[in-house]
Chains A and B, each alone.
Chain A
C-alpha cells in the first residue's frame, strides 16, 4: 500500500511501529526527528501527494481530545473529537482536509493508549452526562483499519465505559473489525453519503453508494447502531430526485431501531480552505458552483442552503421521527 514510511526516531521500537514495519517489509523507512518536519512544511502539493501518499508514524504529544462546536452534536450534551490519524484513504473533492493540511501523507499517531487515557479523563469529568467522542473528523474511521488497528483497540476500551459514546464516521465497507465484535450500545457507526451521481464524480476511491448501503445494512442486522450523515449536502441538478432516491435507498432495508441518528450539514468551508482547494483543482466543476462568502466561510447562498436542507429534512422525516434528526448549523461569524 505504501512505498515510504517516515517514522519518528523515538517510536522506532514501539510495538505498533514494529508491527507496521513487519507488514510492509518492502517499504522504504525514513527516520525523522518530528513528524512536523515532513507533514507541516509549506510548498508541498496536496494534489500530487494524494496520488502516492506515504505513511508517517508518530506520537501526538499535545492535547488529544478537543471540544466540538455546540451545533455539531447528535443529541449528547458533551461533545468532543479526537484524531488518531490525519488524512484519508479516499479523495473527496469537497473534503476540507485538502484545504487544511499542507500534506496528503497519512499521519498515524500510534500512541492510542494516550488517546484512551485522555478520553477516560474527559468522560469522568462529568460522569452523569454521557460524553460523545467523534473519531472521523480528520480521517475516515474505518477505511485504513487494516493498517492502523485503531478501532480494534478502541472497542474494548469503550465496552467498559457506558458514559462514553463513540462515533465512527466512514465511507468504508471494511467493517470486519465491527462484524467480529459483539455490538456495543455506546458505539455508533455513521456512514456519510451523497447521491450516487455526485459520489461517482466527486468521491474518488470511495465504494459505490450501493455497496455502502449493503455493508451498512449488514452491520445493522448484526445489532450495531447506525448513523446516517448527509454532510455536505451539495446543490446539484435534479436535487429533489437524486436526494429523494438516496434517502429512500438508505432507509429501504434499514431497521428503524438500528438508526441512531441522521444529521444534515450544508456545504461550508473556511474561506482560506476553499481558496486553497480551488487552486489545487482549478478545473473542478464543484468549485465553479454558486458559492458566496458568509463571514469567514464559503457556502451556498442562504436561500439555496435553507431550501436544500429543508428538502432533505422532509425526505428524511418520512422515514423516522424528528427526535433522531440533527442539523449541523454552521457557526455564523
Chain B
C-alpha cells in the first residue's frame, strides 16, 4: 500500500505504525518497508501532484493501492472524524472526480473540495482540503481508479475553525485513527490482490523466461497460454514437465498450445 501525505506530522503515526524507514536520495521525503511506501508531498496541489507522480514512478506494477491521507476541514462532521472522499472537486476551474466506493466499510463518506487556500467559511456539509484533487487526477493516469482513495481526518469545523496549524494536534488526530486507517488499508489491499496474477503462475513464467529467450510477442503468448492452462485446469506438474521437455521458446508455445487444444470446449 502506498500513501501520499502532505505533512510530516500527519505522516508520523503511519511511519510508526508500519515501521517505515527513510529512503535516501529522493526528491520527496520517502519512507518504506517491503509492503508500504509513503511520500511526504508538502502543502498544496502542485506539490501534491509532483509527489504523486514521483510515487507512481516507484511502483513495481499498476496493481497497487494508493491513498491520500491527511487532515481537512469539514462543514458537518465532527472534529476527529475519519471519512472517505466520495467526490473530490476543484473550485477553479470547476471539476470533479469520483473515487469509486466499493469497499465494505463503516466509515462515513463525504464530498471533498480542494482549494488553493484554507477554507474558513465551510459553506457546504463537505470536507475542505488543499491536495486531494491533484492527487486523484494524477493517480488516475496510471492506476485503476478503484485503487485510488482519499482518507481525511476532520481537523476544523464551523464550531472549531482553524486558527493556526498545530503540528502536534495534527499528529494526534491521525494517531487516534490509525487502527481505522489500517483496517481500510487492509480492505483496499484485499481488492488490489483480487486482480493480481496468481503467484505460482508469475514465478513459473519468470522461471521459463529466464531459461529461454522469448521475444516480446512470445512473452505475451506465453502469459496467455499459462493463464489458459490455469483456467482449463491443466495441472502445474504437467505444465512443468512440458516446459522441461522443450528446448526453446517456440517449442514451449507450440507444446502448450497442443496440450490445451482438447480442453478448450466448455465443460
Task: Determine whether the beta carbon of B146 is less than 8 Å from that of A48.
Answer: yes
Within 8 A of A (CB), among B194-246: 194-195, 197-198, 227-228, 230-232
Cα distance A61–B231 in the bound complex, in angstroms: 43
Task: Determine whether the beta carbon of B102 is less than 8 Å from that of A288.
Answer: no
What residues on A are CB-neighbors of B195 within 8 Å?
A: 45, 47-48
The one of B96, B102, B145, B227 in contact with A283, judged by C-beta atoms closer than 8 angstroms, is B227
Q: Tell me, yes or no, whether A32 is within 8 Å of chain B by CB.
A: yes
Q: Tell me, yes or no, whether A272 is within 8 Å of chain B by CB.
A: no
What residues on A are CB-neighbors of B141 within 8 Å?
A: 43
Task: Determine whether the beta carbon of A282 is less than 8 Å from that of B267.
Answer: no
Q: Tell me, yes or no, whether B98 is within 8 Å of chain A by CB.
A: yes
Please judge, given known A-B contacts A37-B96, A49-B100, A198-B266, whether A283 and B144 are in contact too, CB under 8 Å: no
Interface window among A118-126, A138-146, A171-179, A231-239:
A231-239
Cα distance A3–B84 in the bound complex, in angstroms: 14
Q: Tell me, yes or no, whether A284 is within 8 Å of chain B by CB.
A: yes
What residues on B are CB-neighbors of A201 within 8 Å?
A: 266
Task: Determine whether the beta carbon of B266 is less than 8 Å from that of A41.
Answer: no
**Which chain B residue lies CB-closest to A280?**
B195
Task: Determine whether the beta carbon of B86 is less than 8 Å from that of A30.
Answer: yes
Residues 126-165 of B, flagged 1 when their CB comes within 8 A of A and 0 if not, give 0000000000000011011110000000000000000000
Cα distance A304–B25 in the bound complex, in angstroms: 61
Cα distance A54–B101 in the bound complex, in angstroms: 8
Please judge, given known A-B contacts A49-B146, A234-B266, whether A30 and B111 are in contact too, CB under 8 Å: yes
Q: Tell me, yes or no, whether B12 is within 8 Å of chain A by CB.
A: no
Cα distance A229–B232 in the bound complex, in angstroms: 28
What residues on B are CB-neighbors of A47 within 8 Å?
A: 195
Q: Tell me, yes or no, whether B92 is within 8 Å of chain A by CB.
A: no
Task: Determine whether the beta carbon of A285 is less than 8 Å from that of B267.
Answer: yes
Q: Tell me, yes or no, whether B1 is within 8 Å of chain A by CB.
A: no
The one of B98, B145, B260 in contact with A288, judged by C-beta atoms closer than 8 angstroms, is B260
Within 8 A of A (CB), among B168-206: 191, 194-195, 197-198
Task: Determine whether the beta carbon of A52 is less than 8 Å from that of B145.
Answer: no
Please judge, given known A-B contacts A236-B265, A236-B267, A282-B231, whether A52 and B96 are in contact too, CB under 8 Å: no
Task: Determine whether the beta carbon of A288 is less than 8 Å from that of B87.
Answer: no
- The count of residues in chain B whose C-beta lies closer than 8 Å to any C-beta of chain A is 33
Residues 11-37 of A, flagged 1 when their CB comes within 8 A of B and 0 if not, give 000000000000000001011110001
* Min C-beta distance of A177 to chain B, whole Å: 31
What residues on A are CB-neighbors of B228 within 8 Å?
A: 288
Task: Determine whether the beta carbon of A283 is less than 8 Å from that of B231.
Answer: yes
Within 8 A of B (CB), among A265-291: 282-290
The one of B87, B100, B231, B260 in contact with A287, judged by C-beta atoms closer than 8 angstroms, is B231
Task: Determine whether the beta carbon of A237 is less than 8 Å from that of B265.
Answer: yes
What residues on A are CB-neighbors of B261 within 8 Å?
A: 290
Please judge, given known A-B contacts A6-B98, A48-B102, whether A282 and B227 are in contact too, CB under 8 Å: yes
**Which chain B residue lies CB-closest to A33?**
B96
Task: Determine whether the beta carbon of B264 is less than 8 Å from that of A289.
Answer: yes
Cα distance A41–B100 in the bound complex, in angstroms: 11
* Min C-beta distance of A3 to chain B, whole Å: 7
**Which chain B residue lies CB-closest to A239?**
B265
* Min C-beta distance of A41 to chain B, whole Å: 7
- Determine which residue in B98, B109, B261 has the highest number of CB atoms from chain A within 10 A of its CB, and name it: B98
Task: Determine whether the beta carbon of B96 is less than 8 Å from that of A32.
Answer: yes
The one of B86, B143, B191, B227 in contact with A28, judged by C-beta atoms closer than 8 angstroms, is B86
* Min C-beta distance of A5 to chain B, whole Å: 11
Task: Determine whether the beta carbon of B146 is less than 8 Å from that of A237.
Answer: no
Cα distance A65–B55 in the bound complex, in angstroms: 47
Cα distance A235–B104 in the bound complex, in angstroms: 38
Q: Tell me, yes or no, whether A38 is within 8 Å of chain B by CB.
A: yes
Within 8 A of B (CB), among A95-125: none
The one of A3, A4, A32, A285 in contact with B266, judged by C-beta atoms closer than 8 angstroms, is A285
Residues 279-311 of A, flagged 1 when their CB comes within 8 A of B and 0 if not, give 000111111111000000000000000000000
Cα distance A31–B86 in the bound complex, in angstroms: 10
7 A-B pairs whose Cβ atoms sit less than 8 Å apart in the complex: A4-B109, A37-B96, A41-B145, A51-B102, A54-B101, A198-B266, A285-B232
Chain B: residues with CB nearer than 8 A to chain A? 86-87, 96, 98, 100-102, 104, 109, 111, 140-141, 143-146, 191, 194-195, 197-198, 227-228, 230-232, 260-261, 263-267
Chain A: residues with CB nearer than 8 A to chain B? 3-4, 6, 28, 30-33, 37-38, 41, 43-45, 47-49, 51-52, 54, 198, 201, 234-237, 282-290
> Nearest 3 CB-CB pairs, A to B?
A236-B266, A288-B228, A282-B227
